[in-house]
Amino acid sequence: MRIAMISEHASPLAVLGGEDAGGQNTHVAELSAALVAAGHDVRVYTRRDAVDLPVTVPAPDGYDVVHVPAGPAEPVAKDALLPHMAEFGTWLAERWRTGDWQPEVVHAHFWMSGLAALAAGRRTGVPVVQTFHALGTVKRRHQGAQDTSPPGRLGHERQLGRKVARVVAQCQDEVAELARMGVPRSRMTVIPSGVNLSTFAPLGPAVERDGDRPRILTVGRLVERKGFEDVIRAIAGVPDAECVVVGGPPAGLLETDPYALRLRALAESCGVADRVKLIGAVPREEMGRWYRSADALVAAPWYEPFGLTPLEAMACGVPVIGSAVGGLIDTVVDGRTGDLVPPRDPRALGAAIRRLLGNRIRRFAYATAAVERARGCYSWSTTADRLAEVYGEVAAVRRPTRVVA
């Protein structure tokens, strides 16, 4: 099939670790590569954010990345992109009407991409599949006044859920949230993200450790909702263990990053500054070395729409201690591949870390089960095959209308 991916702020070519560059970028890149490997023709449309970007860039994995002129050709914060989505959708429609390539299905990633995709789809007759990646209702619930989303986000998401051909949810928690918003369950299909089983595997090199000291790893963008402060407070109750934080800006910029400085100040006040190490951004192809170096991955977000890092750790044979929120409830099987604890509870988190570090047999059992679950349920090829079935279903109902210039 000819498949258009719309990812307005999250280019698959972006360097991960920035404020708006994370799991969605990886998801779009890996999914597009898996679909190409399965024989599909994939083009990813993302906003042009630099004047020197060519219109089309062939990605190494066989799909094309098309840079859409919508708004200024410079970086713009994700939450400020809404006014440019009409221009994005108009450009897509014209491109598909007058060009030599029209998709049979459009898969929009994030709600603003959905607005542009739906506008273009209506003008060209191409059906739209929507993945939200995060929901405004959840973000507002957890961030309150700190939520910088545009005021109309919740209404737009509700309407998208009712108007697109299919909503692809990533976990059961998202299905429940969408149903509370009024999205019919008949329009939803649960297909989780995958994990690259070649990049992330139990066997391979590992980063050196500090002697026999147990290592806890925590990974993600340096933003408050990821729960890094809770992890540092928890480590204060775990004697001798070190906590390695991977993510954020490059190592050379950590000294000027406000949140990195905040985490270091917290570690100092908790008396664990010598046991907390901030590494900064690590290239994705090197992350397997960090996962394999750890006794456990700790993922303690306040909320998490899906969460790729627990899956990556599991594929490397590393147990996961995580917050019982969002996608982690689906991916981490409590008591089998890891342990789940309440969010924002450093005491419970510390107790879970102590129990796991103190029981080598349990760690081995969790690690074995984690690898089996990652390989059996979360390969990108499986995700791509299931999505291809959805694409075929919606395309069969609404065949696109080709318009030639």
DSSP state of 204: S
Q: Which residues, other chains included, contact 86 with Cβ-Cβ below 8 Å and sequence gap of 6+?
A: 116, 119
**What angle is formed at CA 314 by the lines to CA 312 and CA 320, rounded to 5 degrees?**
105
- pTM for the model: 0.88
Tokens 């994939």 belong to which residue?
42
CA torsion 185-138-85-131 (nearest 10°) is -40
Residue 403 has pLDDT above 50, yes or no: no
Q: What is the pLDDT of residue 14?
A: 77
pLDDT in tens, 272-289: 999 999 999 998 889 999
| Pairwise pLDDT comparison (216 vs 151), residue with the higher score | 216
Mean pLDDT of 226-250: 95
Q: What is the pLDDT of residue 15?
A: 54
Q: What is the pLDDT of residue 390?
A: 97
Kindly report the backbone phi and psi dihedral angles of residue 16, in degrees, each rounded to the nearest multiple of 5, phi listed first: -75, 155
pLDDT band at residue 80 using 50, 70 and 90 as cut-offs:
very high
pLDDT band at residue 23 using 50, 70 and 90 as cut-offs:
confident
Q: Which domains does the chain have, with CATH numbers?
A: 2-194+380-397 (3.40.50.2000), 215-377 (3.40.50.2000)
Residue 404 has pLDDT above 70, yes or no: no
Mean pLDDT for all residues in the chain: 93
Q: Is 150 exposed, middle or buried (0-12, 13-18, 19+ CB in 10 A)?
A: middle
> Could you tell me if 8 and 39 are in contact, meaning their C-beta atoms sit under 8 angstroms apart?
no
Residue 402 has pLDDT above 90, yes or no: no
> Could you tell me if 170 and 193 are in contact, meaning their C-beta atoms sit under 8 angstroms apart?
yes
**What angle is formed at CA 365 by the lines to CA 360 and CA 367, rounded to 5 degrees?**
95
**What angle is formed at CA 170 by the lines to CA 13 and CA 162, rounded to 5 degrees?**
100
Residue 349 has pLDDT above 90, yes or no: yes
CB atoms within 10 A of CB 55: 12
